[in-house]
Amino acid sequence: MKQGIQGSAAPDDAAARPPGRLRVPPQPGAADTERSRADAAGPVRGEHTHSEPPAPRTRPLIQRTSVRGQILDALRTALVAGDLRPGEVYSAPALGERFGVSATPVREAMQQLALEGAVEVVPNRGFRVLERSGRELAELAEVRALIEVPVVLRLARTVPAARWAELRPFAEATVRAASAGCRAGYAEADRAFHGAVLALAGNDQLVRIAADLHRRSQWPLVGLPAVRGRADLVADAHEHTALLDALIAGDLDVVRALVEDHFAVS
């Protein structure tokens, strides 16, 4: 269960996707108010949109309820899927056009991604997706191991088998996502499984911090060969089920070996 999805080859349908287009599932409820606000305000001063791909004629619409949250989720998915490419600069107005909303919720979501270390602000232009190194990935893996490994080992000694068995759907969801070859779907299922395991510790701050570190470790790297494809994701996912089996059986030696191997960077 090596470190998440780094270096994975893009899923089969990714190659057919037009470059520069973000894939957002259509949702009911048009954000008319947001678009009207954008039309009135126009692009933010200095943010260039002419060099970016034109917005599609039929735009995916975002619900007005928690627009910023939906945009943030969509941008995080785009980062994992590679639709937002490292080194590229994206302006909030242009991304807003693609999502069918004003630039404001996009800019707010991008500011959150900047705090998370995914992008950086480029004055008068927008936001650049940061290029990440193998060293950064190794550092994240080390920090995650320091936090998660001792917690899982402690839980393995105290949590009854019946409670572990309740997490079976989370493990199986990672197998399904991996079998589909979808990096973004696997990343979400992977975080959900880890979150469910750590939640048994009853520490909300632990779950929140671990989830943030986990998400950062899933953003694609640049400058490394794309060697982890669907088969690698499936192998990682099956290690989730193996870990769960060991936890249910109370086999502490196997649990220790699996959780330590999970954070090893290949």
Identify the residue whose tokens are 């899927």.
81
pLDDT of amino acid 251: 95
Could you give the CA distance from residue 174 to residue 4 in angstroms, rounded to a whole number?
11
Could you give the CA distance from residue 85 to residue 105 in angstroms, rounded to a whole number?
20
- Terminal C-alpha separation, the chain: 10
Could you give the CA distance from residue 188 to residue 218 in angstroms, rounded to a whole number?
10
pLDDT of amino acid 246: 96
Query: Per-residue pLDDT tens for 189-203?
Result: 999 999 999 999 999
Could you give the CA distance from residue 166 to residue 61 in angstroms, rounded to a whole number?
36
One fold for 32-129 and 134-262: no
CATH of 32-129, one of 3.40.50.300, 1.10.10.10, 2.40.128.520, 1.20.1250.20: 1.10.10.10
Min mean pLDDT across 17-21, 50-54, 157-161, 238-242 is at: 17-21
Query: Per-residue pLDDT tens for 66-77?
Result: 888 999 999 988
Handedness of CA 117, 265, 191, 231 (dihedral sign): positive
Sorted by where each begins, the domain ranges of the chain are 32-129, 134-262
Sheet holding 119-122, edge to edge: 89-90, 126-129, 119-122
Superfamily (CATH) of domain 134-262: GntR ligand-binding domain-like (1.20.120.530)
Could you give the CA distance from residue 177 to residue 185 in angstroms, rounded to a whole number?
6
Is 20 or 185 the better-scoring residue by pLDDT? 185
Query: Per-residue pLDDT tens for 8-50?
Result: 444 444 434 444 445 444 444 434 444 444 444 444 444 555 4
pLDDT of amino acid 184: 85
Could you give the CA distance from residue 144 to residue 23 in angstroms, rounded to a whole number?
30
Query: Per-residue pLDDT tens for 100-139?
Result: 999 999 999 999 999 888 999 999 899 999 887 888 888 9
Query: Per-residue pLDDT tens for 207-224?
Result: 999 999 998 888 876 544
pLDDT of amino acid 40: 42
